[in-house]
Amino acid sequence: MRAASPSRRSRLRRRAASLLAVTALVATSALTAAGTVQASTAPAAATAQPAPVTGFGSNPGNLTMYRYAPPGLGSGSPAVVLLHGCGQGGPEYFTHAGWQKFADAHGFSVIVAEQKQANNSSRCFNWFESGDISRGQGEALSVKQMVDRTVADLAADPDRIFVTGLSAGGIMAASLLAAYPEVFASGAVVAGLPHRCASGMLDAFTCMSPGRTQSAQAWGDLVRAAHPGHSGERPTVQLWHGGADHVVASANLQESVKQWTNAHGTNQTPNATGQLPADTTRTEYHDAGGKPVVISYRTASNGHGTPVAPGSGATQCGQAGAYFLASLCSSYYIVQDWGLAGSGGSDPDPTDPGPDPDPDPDPTDPPATCHTGSNYAHTQAGRATQRGGWTYAVGSGDALGLWNMWVTTTLAESPPGYYRLAPGAC
C-alpha cells in the first residue's frame, strides 16, 4: 500500500481530531442532561490569569506557553505543568481546576501549555502522534523547554517539577513522564490512557473505547522504550478516572495501573485502599521499600472530566461546568500526593525533623489531647504534613513514617495546634 502523502496525513489528523471532539462533546452533553456535570450557580471568585511567555526555545511543537507565579515566590520553589483537554484553553483549565488557590497557598509556579488550532483543529494535544510524544521531539520537547525556561527564570527546583492534564492532556502527561523521567518527580493523569496506547490516529478510538488490553509487561516496555538509557528512579504516578466515563472508557484506569506498576517494578496488588468524598476510591500500590509509586482514584458516578469541588473550604476548588465535574477537588489531592502542601517554596528534606523546636512545657497548658489515626488522616485533619511520601507532625516535626492509610500513629496535642508523637502517652 502506498504511504499517505503529507497533505493527506494532515487531512486525516484533522478529521480524527474533529471526531474525537464530537465524541467528547456528545458524551458531555449527555452527562449534563443526567446531572453528572453541573454548572456552578455561585459567582466565580476573582482569579489571576497566567501570563504569556515567549521565546522559551525552538518550540518544535508550536505550543503556547503561559505561566503563573504567586507574588513573592522564592527561589528553589516547585513548578507544576498543566495540560488542558480537547476544546479547552490553557488559562481556562488553570482557572476551572482551581490551581491558583494551591499555588498561592503552597508557593509553587504553574506552567500552562496550550495547544494551537493550527496543530490540531480541536486543540487536542497530539497524543497519538509518535513525533509529538517522543523524547526530543514535537510537543513533548516544547513542554520540556517550558520547564527549562521556568527553572532559569524563577530559579525553580529542578528536582520538584510535576505535570498533570485532562484527557488528551492527561495522555500527553503520561508520555512526558515516560519520555522525561529525569525531569518530572511525579504526574497526575486525569481521564487518560496508558502511554503510547495508540500507534497512530486511526486506532486512537479503540484505545479510548472500549480500550486496549495488554499485559503489564507489554505496557511497561512501552514506558522503558521511551528513554532506553534511563537508569534512575521513575516519577510516581496518580491516575484519576470516572466510573461512568464513556469518552475514555474507565477500563483504561486498570490498564494504566498495569503500565506504571510494571514500570516501577511492582505488581498490581493494592497495598492500601480508602474512601474519599463523592464515592471516590483511592488505591495505593507500593514499591519494595513501601513507597506509594502509583495511586489510583476512581469516582464511581463521574463521567469524563476533571473533578472539582466549588467552594472556599480547604479541600474545595474550581468551577463546575463542561469537563469540570462537581464532586471532589482533584487538585487538592494531587497537591497532597506530590508533597507540595505546606512547601512554601522551600526545599523539603526527608531527613529534616521539622522547623519548629519542641516548646518548653507550660504549667498553664491544658492536658494533651490524643489523636489516633492513619498518617493520611492526620494530614487531612491538619495534624501532620507530607513531604516526599513521608509524614511529619505539625509543630514538633516528629517523623511518623510513610504517608498512607495503613500506618497508624497516635499524636498528643499540647498546646493547641502543636502535635508530637505519643506512642505510649495516650
* Distant-in-sequence, close-in-space partners of 268: CB < 8 Å, separation ≥ 6: 216, 254, 257, 258, 261, 285
Phi, psi angle pair for 34, to nearest 5°: -80, -10
Q: Please give the Cα distance from 21 to 39 (Å, whole number).
A: 20
C-alpha cell, 113: 501549555
Tell me which residue of 404, 348, 337, 391 sits closest to 164, measured CA to CA: 337
* Distant-in-sequence, close-in-space partners of 225: CB < 8 Å, separation ≥ 6: none
Give Rg (Cα) of the chain: 22
Catalytic, 327? Answer: no
DSSP state of 235: P
Question: Is residue 307 within 8 Å of residue 278, measured between CB atoms?
Answer: yes
Other C-beta atoms within 10 Å of 74: how many? Answer: 12
**Parallel, antiparallel or unpaired: strands 64-68 and 280-286:** unpaired
**Residue from 109, 122, 134, 167 carrying the catalytic annotation:** 167
- Reduced to 3 states, what is the DSSP secondary structure of residue 127? coil
326: β partners: 308
Question: Is residue 66 within 8 Å of residue 53, measured between CB atoms?
Answer: yes
Residue labelled with grid coordinates 491558583 = 100
Tell me which residue of 127, 133, 136 sits closest to 192, measured CA to CA: 127
Q: Please give the Cα distance from 384 to 378 (Å, whole number).
A: 5
Helices (H), 215-365: 216-226, 251-263, 330-337
Question: Is residue 165 within 8 Å of residue 113, measured between CB atoms?
Answer: no
Active site residues: 167
